[in-house]
Amino acid sequence: MEIQSYTMNFGPQHPAAHGVLRLVLEMEGETVLRADPHVGLLHRATEKLAESKPFNQSIGYMDRLDYVSMMCNEHAYVRAIEALMGIEAPVRAQYIRTMFDEITRILNHLMWVGTNGLDLGAMAMFLYAFREREELMDCYEAVSGARMHATYYRPGGVYRDLPDAMPRYRESPWHKGKDVKRLNAWREGSLLDYLTAFTDDFPKRVDEYETLLTDNRIWKQRTVGIGVVSPELALAWGMTGPMLRGSGIAWDLRKKQPYAMYDRVDFDIPVGVNGDCYDRYLVRIEEMRQSNRIIRQCVDWLRANPGPVMLDNYKVAPPSRTEMKDDMEALIHHFKLFTEGYSVPAGEVYSAVEAPKGEFAAYLVSDGANKPFRLKLRAPGFAHLSSMDAVVRGHMLSDVVAMIGTYDVVFGEIDR
Amino acid sequence: MTDANSDGLAGRLQAHFGARLLGLAEARGETTIELAPGDWASAGRELRDAFGFEQLVDLCGVDYLGYGEGEWDVADVSAEGFSRGVEGIAGPGRFRWEDRPAAATAPRRYAVVAHLLSVSRNQRLRIRCFAPDDALPVVPSLCEVWPGVNWFEREAFDLYGVVFEGHPDLRRILTDYGFIGHPFRKDFPLIGNVEVRYDPEKGRVVYEPVTSVEPRVGVPRVVRDDARFETARAESVARRAAGD
């Protein structure tokens, strides 16, 4: 008897499926004949939920879409609201946003390089990446109080200014004496001091990752020439971000359609040549170095230029607590803002940002109410994953894992 | 986006499509055109080949039911409270299709909106198409033009029930296997129609009508013409003039 082909279920509980991807693979031996990704297992109807609440109350949902690049998602949504209302955040807030977008990009790429390494057999990479991730998570925590789901960006600016002090480690049964001193070495000053120390240190850390992977024989065997995406294919399938740049197209919204303060900072766009998994790896590694440069420039600017971080417009931003104590108007504004919210002029807008995974966008339709009429969130991973079948046909099963990794899929954004 | 479309894209679109253009709008630096379903696929091909829109970055359905309508008469809210949201089927998002709010300004209920991107010319364009029949919205598929639209159309079909004619594989994508209804339609209740639990007696998962949550409106939907943003706009212009 001869078996022609068989169907195999990959996921949704497989660790290399990066969340809840169910992949139905039609196999002939070890070769993939057809791949049919089933998504939606994490569908929470974020867009529908957003239709039922005032604009500001949905910012927190944005963090939970692509839950490894939280603030970039917020940025797209907040910019859409700002565009419809015709308001603009103060310059300092824009710099803070630029800085945190780049911190987020490093966070995302670290997560990516760690888990993709893990998928392809490089355990150590994961441990290295999470060391730095934790340091940057502390920045999230310092500004918003939350390590991940920050809800830090608001229409009209950011929630509050950067803190003057970083939280410090205390003596504990696990950390004592010299150990605590080492952990607190960067934390003596403000958040900006902490980030200065980080940006000085980070390029060396990226070098460490590269010694682990870039010339690693096994890593190259698993990635070079695997999952080749031609530039034509990348365009036709709506790919953006590192997937598009890995195929040699120098397209980056931060350069081509600059938002926030990206036209005032200096950075380069890395571009791949062959469009395989290895090139996309190199692109992402270089993006981390570039993000580090941007963060440093923002830190220097923010240090020299104090100022407001939120619009002085009580119809959009809440008044300060002290003002509310003795100003009736301020109290009314506060009450109206947190109960009814604000009405956004009727119209529609598509606001895209260069999220770490590609073009993340919010298409917002307002009918003049205090809630969105329709909010569509364009997730880069959704478009990328849809090309799965076209890309992995003829590859081996183990290459499917490499491909899922290189897509950088996160189901929070794909399933929404 | 603001300066990207400044090279007269609207004029060229007008010249190229002529009467086929049902609508053309430019607002906030974005260009939007409206096309008839009959022209949808052919126009897509022309936009790709003649206008350089290599990418379709996004496609979604929109349900214009109840556009521009507030949920309450705000005047007597203090007397009656926000009870409308908790009184069963009569609440917002709980009405039947026959009891839908009338006089929506949109010509049709379902629209498909796509966003095109030209990487070579650094331009964006929004195209919209209203489905002619509200009972069975049908719009031609763009899969032949941009293969990447496949999943976006499946999503619009799943969530809004828009049927894409010529789509190679129009299955549900985000909702559960065997799901009934199209959840993003405005007349589909936010709490859903069925809930799921494990039944220890039957030894399997069962679907039942929703009982564990009540339909509720935390904040009423209020439509206001707001003059205050005009002030904000003027202030931001003044700030820019002053050089940040």
pLDDT given for residue B3 in this prediction? 45
pLDDT given for residue B235 in this prediction? 65
Interface check for B201 against chain A (CB to CB < 8 A): the answer is no
Query: pLDDT of A31-68, one tens digit each?
Result: 898 899 999 888 999 999 998 889 999 999 999 998 89
Interface with chain A: mutation pick from B71, B127, B150, B221, highest number of A CBs within 10 Å: B221
pLDDT given for residue A2 in this prediction? 66
pLDDT at B130 over 60: yes
Nearest-CA neighbor of B12 among B30, B29, B24, B28?
A: B24
How close does chain A come to B156, measured CA to CA in Å?
Answer: 11
How close does chain B come to A119, measured CA to CA in Å?
Answer: 26
Enter the ipTM.
Answer: 0.88
Query: pLDDT of A358-368, one tens digit each?
Result: 999 999 998 88
Is B219 close to A54, i.e. CB distance below 8 A?
yes
pLDDT given for residue A270 in this prediction? 92
**Partners of residue B174 in chain A, C-beta under 8 Å:** 39-40, 43, 415-416
How close does chain B come to A288, measured CA to CA in Å?
Answer: 24
Is A350 close to B115, i.e. CB distance below 8 A?
yes
**Partners of residue B172 in chain A, C-beta under 8 Å:** 40
Among all residues of chain B, which has the CA nearest to that of A245? Answer: B119
pLDDT given for residue B233 in this prediction? 61
Q: What strand order describes the sheet that includes A374-378? A: A347-355, A358-366, A374-378
Mean pLDDT of A141-156: 90
Report the C-alpha gap between B195 and B183 in whole angstroms.
Answer: 14
Query: pLDDT of A75-88, one tens digit each?
Result: 999 999 999 888 88
Instruction: Count other C-beta atoms under 10 Å from residue A178's C-beta.
Output: 8
Mean pLDDT of A330-343: 87
Chain A from 172 to 201: CB within 8 A of any B CB: none
Tell which phi-psi region holds residue B181, choosing left (phi > 0), alpha (psi between -120 and 50) or beta. Answer: left
Nearest-CA neighbor of A384 among B132, B151, B146, B28?
A: B151
Interface check for A269 against chain B (CB to CB < 8 A): the answer is no
Is A365 close to B62, i.e. CB distance below 8 A?
yes
Report the C-alpha gap between A255 and A268 in whole angstroms.
Answer: 9
Q: What is the DSSP letter of A163?
A: P
pLDDT given for residue B113 in this prediction? 93
Going by DSSP bridges, is the β-strand pair A22-28/A6-10 parallel, antiparallel, or unpaired?
antiparallel
pLDDT at A330 over 90: no
Q: How many helices (H) and strands (E) does chain A have?
A: 18, 8
Interface with chain B: mutation pick from A51, A314, A354, A373, highest number of B CBs within 10 Å: A373
Query: pLDDT of A279-290, one tens digit each?
Result: 999 999 999 999
pLDDT at A108 over 90: yes
Mean pLDDT of A13-21: 78
Mean pLDDT of B209-215: 80
**Partners of residue A315 in chain B, C-beta under 8 Å:** 226, 228-229, 232
Highest mean predicted confidence (pLDDT) among A95-99, A131-135, B185-189, B219-223: A95-99
Chain B from 45 to 64: CB within 8 A of any A CB: 54-58, 60, 62-63
CA dihedral angle for residue B41, residue B42, residue B43, residue B46, rounded to 10 degrees: 130
Nearest-CA neighbor of A22 among B207, B143, B174, B160?
A: B174
Q: Kindly report the pTM of this predicted structure.
A: 0.87
> Which one-letter amino acid corresponds to residue B24?
L
Interface check for A365 against chain B (CB to CB < 8 A): the answer is yes
Mean pLDDT of A136-145: 90
pLDDT given for residue B87 in this prediction? 43
Half-sphere exposure of A357 (CA within 13 A, CB side): 34
Query: pLDDT of A198-230, one tens digit each?
Result: 999 999 999 999 998 898 898 998 899 888 999
Mean pLDDT of A70-98: 92
Share of chain A above pLDDT 90, in %: 42
Mean pLDDT of B156-171: 91
Q: How confident is the model at residue B84 (pLDDT cuts 50, 70, 90)?
A: very low
How close does chain B come to A315, measured CA to CA in Å?
Answer: 8
Query: pLDDT of A393-412, one tens digit each?
Result: 888 888 888 888 898 889 98
Report the C-alpha gap between B112 and B132 in whole angstroms.
Answer: 11
pLDDT at A353 over 90: yes
Interface check for B174 against chain A (CB to CB < 8 A): the answer is yes
Report the C-alpha gap between A392 and A395 in whole angstroms.
Answer: 5
pLDDT given for residue B231 in this prediction? 61
Mean pLDDT of B185-201: 87
Give the residue with greater pLDDT, A21 vs B68. A21
pLDDT given for residue A202 in this prediction? 92
Interface with chain B: mutation pick from A42, A52, A65, A388, highest number of B CBs within 10 Å: A52
Q: How confident is the model at residue B90 (pLDDT cuts 50, 70, 90)?
A: very low
Is A359 close to B30, i.e. CB distance below 8 A?
no
Is B190 close to A239, i.e. CB distance below 8 A?
no
Report the C-alpha gap between B178 and B189 in whole angstroms.
Answer: 18
Among all residues of chain B, which has the CA nearest to that of A361? Answer: B58
pLDDT given for residue B85 in this prediction? 41
How close does chain B come to A345, measured CA to CA in Å?
Answer: 7
pLDDT at B71 over 90: no
Give the residue with greater pLDDT, A4 vs B32. B32
Question: Using omega within 30 degrees of 0 as the cis cutoff, is the peptide bond preceding B132 cis?
Answer: no
Report the C-alpha gap between B192 and B184 in whole angstroms.
Answer: 10
Report the C-alpha gap between B225 and B68 in whole angstroms.
Answer: 11
Alpha-helical (H) ranges within A250-276 are 253-256
pLDDT at A302 over 50: yes
User: Which residue in the set B146, B174, B235 is minimally distant from A40, CB to CB?
Assistant: B174
pLDDT at B103 over 60: no
User: Which residue in the set A236, A340, A359 is minimally distant from B147, CB to CB?
Assistant: A236
CB neighbour list of residue A124: distance below 8 Å, 6 or more residues apart? A117, A212
Interface check for A157 against chain B (CB to CB < 8 A): the answer is no
Among all residues of chain B, which has the CA nearest to that of A54? Answer: B219
Chain A from 230 to 249: CB within 8 A of any B CB: 235-240, 244, 249
Interface check for A53 against chain B (CB to CB < 8 A): the answer is yes
Among all residues of chain B, which has the CA nearest to that of A351? Answer: B1
Report the C-alpha gap between B153 and B170 in whole angstroms.
Answer: 8
Instruction: Count other C-beta atoms under 10 Å from residue B243's C-beta.
Output: 5
State phi, psi for A25 to the nearest 5 degrees. Answer: -110, 130
